[in-house]
Every structure is written in C-alpha cells, then in structure tokens.
Amino acid sequence: MSADISAIVIAGHLLLGGAFILAGIRNVLNAPLLTQLMSARGVPQARLMLWLGIALQIAAGALLIAGIWTALAAAGLILFLLVATPMFHNFWGHQGPERAAKINGVVGNVALIGGFLVVIAGAP
C-alpha cells in the first residue's frame, strides 16, 4: 500500500474510531436517560445492556484507531449499529421535524455501516 493510501486509511480509522469513542463518552454522561429510554422500549437488563454497548463503542473505536483487529472492531460496531439504530432512531413513532431527524439518524448509521464494510474489506 502506498504512503498516500496508508495515510488515508489511518485518517479514516481515526475518524470512525474517534466518533465512537466520543459517542461512548457522551453515552456515559447520559446513562440515566438512556437507561430509562431503553427500559421504556422493553430492553431487558437495560442498564447492563447500555454499559455493554458503551464498552463496545469505546473499545472497538480504540481498536480501529490503533489499527488492531480492525475487521473485528468494525464488525462489532456494525452489530452495535444494527441494535441501536431501531432502538434510538424509531422514525415510525414520530411526526414532522422529529421524524425527519430520526430518519437522518438511520441514514447516517447506514452510511457508517457502509464505511465499516470498507474497513473489513481492506483489513489484512
């Protein structure tokens, strides 16, 4: 891989991984609200599931940044997005601007899954 391509891959890993580390930290700060939302949506052991999700976000994000087990980290974050997206971006339960915002969240998460598939495809 050329130096230019390597720098682009490193930057991509930094941006993808960093976004999930920051999201995980933000979720720590909002843990009571998120636990309540998850409980209201029928998630069993909502507090435990939240903390497992946060751990996955931060650990997989760090692995991506470090360039270690990148395919596994990307697959873990795909799994996270597949679970979290319908839970927190339930556009079908909203109307107007709130619905549009939820749809945008779904579209963004689908794009992230595409990015993680590219990471998996390029992993050694």
- pLDDT confidence of residue 1: 60
Q: What is the pLDDT along the chain (124 residues), one digit of tens a residue?
A: 677 779 999 999 999 999 999 999 999 999 999 999 999 999 999 999 999 999 999 999 999 999 999 999 999 999 999 999 999 998 888 999 999 999 999 999 999 999 999 999 998 8
- DSSP H helices, 41-95, are 46-66, 70-88
Q: What confidence score (pLDDT) does residue 96 get?
A: 94
Using CA atoms, how far residue 97 sits from 91, 94, 100, 112, in Å, is: 10, 9, 5, 23
Burial of 96 (0-12, 13-18, 19+ CB in 10 A): exposed
pLDDT of residue 5: 75
pTM, whole model, 2 decimals? 0.91
